Amino acid sequence: MGDQSSAIPRSTPSPGLVLRLARSFRPHVGFAALLSILFLTFLDNTVISAVLANVQSELHSGVSQLQWVVGGYALAFASLMLICGSLGDNFGRKKVMLIGNGGSAAIVSHMHNDLCMSVGVRAVVFHELPLLTALTNDHGYECVFARPLELWADPGDVLFAFSSGGRSTNILGAVRAALARDCQVITLSGFKPDNPLRGMGLLNFYVPSQSYGYVETAHSALAHFLTDSAALSLDTGGRHG
């Protein structure tokens, strides 16, 4: 027996010791279990409270986003009716003008293409390179859209003004020039809710984001919605007989 006991490593408790420890802790097992349950319940309540708060926040955010989407579609529909009302009844006499800088200029070019090819209305952009550089060189970049608008705009024309930040001087100046000629202005902006462009149009689309990517993606989607829907509306409205 002595040899067997010496064969047990010092770091490993003997079976007798384990049994004695178990018997000594047996009266406290229920209390320990109760404490564990209470702790886990507290933890669960804490986690549940945090989850509920997060869900509530997400719900508020979702409602806010839903309200923005519904409001956006309502504006898009009104914008569509404005375009079709202005252009459909007086086809060939009214036109759509589009302005934007940088990424917005790319959206403007795409929408211009769709308005001409798919909708079949007269549309014009003002970022043709020689004219752009001439106006910038002679009058400053803040005038590159206002000056062409002064030449091209007629009462009843529609101007789409794209600006992610809604503060570009050349866009604001062009909108003022269009309004002075009794054009109907539709603005698309983002970033800060108090940007000046947002309050200048007859219809004003605003994307509540500080990210260029989100704002420009939303603007692009709206442009597609408007041109696709305008094409269907004008076609079913009897343009071809």
H or E, element range at 99: strand 95-99
Query: Which residues on adjacent β-strands are paired with residue 189?
Result: 206
Give the pLDDT score at 28: 47
Segment 39-90, tens digit of pLDDT: 444 444 444 344 445 444 544 554 455 555 556 666 776 777 677 676 666 6
- CATH class of the domain at 68-236: alpha beta
Tell me the C-alpha distance between 224 and 241, whole Å.
26
Give the pLDDT score at 71: 63
- Secondary structure (DSSP) of 143-189: GTTHHHHHHH--TT-EEEEE-SSS--HHHHHHHHHHHHTT-EEEEEE
Residue spans per domain, the chain: 68-236
Residues of the chain with pLDDT under 50: 1-31, 33-35, 37-52, 54-56, 58-59, 62-63, 236-241
